[in-house]
Amino acid sequence: MKAYYEDVWAELGDDPPWAWEWRRGLLSREVRAGERVLDLGCGAGHFLALIRRLGAHPIGVELSERALARAHAREPAAETLLLAADGSIPLGHGSIDLVWCSEVIEHVADVGLLLNEVRRVLRPGGRLLLTTPFHGRVKGALLALTRFDAHFDPLGQHLRFFTSSSLSRTLAAARLEVVEVSAAGGLPVLRESLVARALRPGAQSLRSAASARRASSTSDVEPGLSGSR
């Protein structure tokens, strides 16, 4: 797989700026200043500078050394790391606040391994924001009728094709708490991508603990308030 993508990146040109705009907006609304944000499958590093400008610490992880070199050249201030040969992410347990994984999982042979690694590196309550090409019924039928061989090329880069329900099941199987799966970009029935938001379990327990602390500190002046929330 690594050798294949080294060859791909040897020939791959740069995308036009407009190709990234709606995803830049999506990511901008999610990043919080001071966070450690992992761009998993960062490619040539288009999002790393944005993460830094938003006040977060950008970390790019990529399978291809060629792509990683381009990412580092694009955003030298970012931490750029090579995915390990066994598919593990070279970061510690619970060290990441947000994982951004955009248009990546459709290229991955072992999606379960990738998502298990995402869960491992996220802190309790940490977030995953993921996009992958949209395949609804109408779009799938049109592709089958007009571009079946090209779109479903067995020698192509895309190994998997997700619907909203299958993506939700895949995330849940990795023990991630699915918050939302929606579609974005393009026309209503021909959306460009699915957008998934998920959490590493632990967020609720953290919120409950914080609520308990607040209730304890205000119980003398506002009895019963916490129970009404």
pTM recorded for the entire structure: 0.76
Residues 40 and 51: their CA atoms lie apart, in Å, by 13
Pairing of strands 96-102, 122-133: parallel
Q: State the burial class of residue 227 (Cβ atoms within 10 Å of its Cβ: 0-12, 13-18, 19+).
A: exposed
The pLDDT of residue 131 is 93
pLDDT in tens, 165-177: 999 999 999 999 9
The pLDDT of residue 118 is 98
Strand, helix or coil for residue 224: coil
- More confident site: 82 or 16: 82
pLDDT in tens, 18-41: 667 888 999 999 999 999 999 999
What are the structural domain ranges in the chain? Answer: 2-204
Superfamily of domain 2-204: Vaccinia Virus protein VP39 (3.40.50.150)
Residue 123 burial (CB count, 10 A):
18
Q: What is the mean pLDDT of the chain?
A: 79
